[in-house]
Structure 1
Amino acid sequence: MFNGGALTLQIEEGVWSAAVKSKHFSMDITLTPPSHDSAPIMVSSPTGYSGWTYTQKHNALNVSGSLKVAGKSVSLSYARAGYDFSAGFMRRETSWRWASICADSKGTRIGLNLAAGVNETGVSENALW
């Protein structure tokens, strides 16, 4: 449940869909890569002395569907999105610093993921799309 409403997520062949219905807003959206050669970053690495971390992230994705806020439709024609799926057995105390950016600049789609504090054992989840 989310804000007294329902939340549904579906992932199928790299396409993410989300539906939310709440008192103040509703959405039914789909996130798709801009082209077939745009792929997510996928990292699996040891963390600390005995843990592990897996993350899959993808930015600069197309957003289609509908969004309503206070009963008014919001255009998604210029919207871009990203997702972050992470799991693992991390250190008991973790300091995770993360930035995720999606934008269009003069017709060029840009996605950026920067992270520090979790995958510190020689691998990185920093990526530019």
Structure 2
Amino acid sequence: MFAQDDAERNTLSQSERVAIRSRLETTLAKLEATAIFPWRDPLDAVHEENRFQRDSEMLGEEGVLLWHRFDTEMDRLHATRFSSDLRSAGSTKETSQRLLGRTITLLISFVTSSPFFCASLLAFRQRK
């Protein structure tokens, strides 16, 4: 698997490397200029992180430095997300309830969208 990644990285043309680097630098500039967590849906942040990681891995050693910068910015932005939740919630109990509600909503959407859940539900309904 790693040999395949190395082979793919070594086959990138100079123009492809420049395009990837430019895309990553643009993403970093946007994040560095952003004061608070910019995504309404936390899964959008996960998708952004996955894209950045995949592209940075394609650049090899150069990508490691870019990934470190990205990771630092994401930590900063995630911290603003939770601190703004605390400020707007007012009380610790309200904050806990909001965070729990968000977690449950994400868990339900994940579980109900999984093929295993759908197959289990179908089998359960057929038994009745």
Which TM-score band applies after superposition, normalised by the shorter structure?
under 0.3
- Quick check: which one's helix share is greater? 2
Q: Give the greater-gyration-radius structure (CA).
A: 2
The structure with the greater share of residues assigned to strand is 1
